[in-house]
Amino acid sequence: MEQQTGTFTVKKGLAQMLKGGVIMDVVTPEHAKIAEEAGACAVMALERVPADIRAEGGVARMSDPDLILRIMDTVTIPVMAKCRIGHFVEAQILEAIGVDYIDESEVLTPADEENHILKHNFKVPFVCGCRNLGEALRRVGEGAAMIRTKGEAGTGDVVEAVRHARAVLGEIRRLTTMADEELMAYAKSLGAPYELVKETKELGRMPVVNFAAGGVATPADAALMMQLGVDGVFVGSGIFKSGDPARRAAAIVKAVTHYNDASILAEVSKNLGEAMVGRSVSVMPEVEKMAGRGW
Amino acid sequence: MKIGVLAIQGDFAEHIVMLKRLGAETAEVRLPDQLSGLDGLIIPGGESTTIGKLAEDFGLLEPLRKFGKTHAMWGTCAGAIFLSKDARRNQPLLGIMDITVVRNAFGRQVDSFEADLDLPELGAGGPYHAIFIRAPIIESVQGSTKIIASLADGRIIAARQGKMLATSFHPELTRDARFHQYFLSFIK
* Strand-pair partners of A225: none
DSSP chain A: ---EES-HHHHHHHHHHHTT-EEEEESSHHHHHHHHHHT-SEEEE-SS-HHHHHHH-S---PPPHHHHHHHHHH-SS-EEEEEETT-HHHHHHHHHHT-SEEEEETTSPPS-SS----GGG-SS-EEEEESSHHHHHHHHHHT-SEEEE---TTS--THHHHHHHHHHHHHHHHHHTS-GGGHHHHHHHHT--HHHHHHHHHHTS-SSEEEB-SS--SHHHHHHHHHHT-S-EEESHHHHTSS-HHHHHHHHHHHHHTTT-HHHHHHHTTT--PPP----GGGS-GGG-STTS--
- Nearest of B13, B174, B51 to residue A7 by alpha carbon: B174
The CATH class that applies to domain B2-185 reads alpha beta
Contact residues on chain B for A78, CB-CB shorter than 8 A: 47, 109, 134
Claim: this prediction has a pTM higher than 0.95: yes
CA A242/CA A226 separation, integer angstroms: 22
pLDDT score recorded for residue B145:
98
How many CB pairs below 8 A link A and B? 125
Across the interface, of A7, A41, A98, the residue whose CB is closest to B46 is A41
Reported as a pLDDT band with limits 50, 70 and 90, residue B188 is confident
Q: Does B25 contact chain A (CB < 8 Å)?
A: no
Contact residues on chain B for A80, CB-CB shorter than 8 A: none
Across the interface, of B9, B108, B112, the residue whose CB is closest to A13 is B112
The predicted-structure confidence for A231-240, as pLDDT tens digits, reads as follows 999 999 999 9
Q: CB A21 to CB B109 under 8 A?
A: no
CA A135/CA A292 separation, integer angstroms: 11
Q: Does B98 contact chain A (CB < 8 Å)?
A: no
pLDDT score recorded for residue A1:
60
Question: Considering only alpha carbons, which residue of chain B is nearest residue A7?
Answer: B113
Contact residues on chain A for B78, CB-CB shorter than 8 A: 17
Residue A228: burial class (beta carbons within 10 Å; 0-12, 13-18, 19+): middle
Low-confidence ranges of chain A (pLDDT < 50): none
The predicted-structure confidence for B66-121, as pLDDT tens digits, reads as follows 999 999 999 999 999 999 999 999 999 999 999 999 999 999 999 999 999 989 88
Mean pLDDT over the full length of chain A: 96
Q: Does A229 contact chain B (CB < 8 Å)?
A: no
**Residue B14 designated active-site:** no
Question: Considering only alpha carbons, which residue of chain A is nearest residue B131?
Answer: A10
Mean pLDDT of B18-43: 98
Contact residues on chain B for A16, CB-CB shorter than 8 A: 11, 14, 45, 133, 173
Contact residues on chain B for A229, CB-CB shorter than 8 A: none
ipTM over 0.95: yes
**Contact partners, residue B66, CB within 8 Å, separation at least 6:** none
The predicted-structure confidence for A250-292, as pLDDT tens digits, reads as follows 999 999 999 999 999 999 999 999 988 888 998 999 889 999 9
The residue of A12, A14, A16, A99 whose CB has the most chain B CBs within 10 angstroms, and thus the best one to mutate to test that interface, is A16
**Residue B77 designated active-site:** yes
Q: How close A79 comes to chain B (CA, Å)?
A: 9
CA A101/CA A12 separation, integer angstroms: 10
Q: CB A7 to CB B10 under 8 A?
A: no
In angstroms, the first-to-last Cα distance of chain B is: 9
Q: What percent of chain B has pLDDT over 70?
A: 100
